[in-house]
Amino acid sequence: MRICDLRHSLASRALALGERLTMIGKLLRHTQVQTTARHAQLARDSVQTAAAKVTGSIGRDLLGERKPHGSAAPR
């Protein structure tokens, strides 16, 4: 593994954990946020997992399986 791979992994993990690009840039000692944005791409698996969650949620809504906010589960 190369140093640039480790930097990419650090940036991607920090982004996935909710860190802002400005903070990630400071960790990587970048002077421009555009450079950080290139390093901080989410891992492919993370993107696929997020897409599955969103599409699953939409599918449940379309099928009427989602309960209104605050409603109790049936007994």
pLDDT tens-place string over residues 7-23: 888 888 888 888 999 99
- Low-confidence residues in the chain, pLDDT < 50: 75
pTM over 0.75: no
Q: For position 75, what pLDDT does the model report? A: 47
Q: Is 51 helix (H, G, I), strand (E, B) or coil?
A: helix
Tokens of residue 12, six digits: 């991607």
Q: For residue 30, give the DSSP letter.
A: -
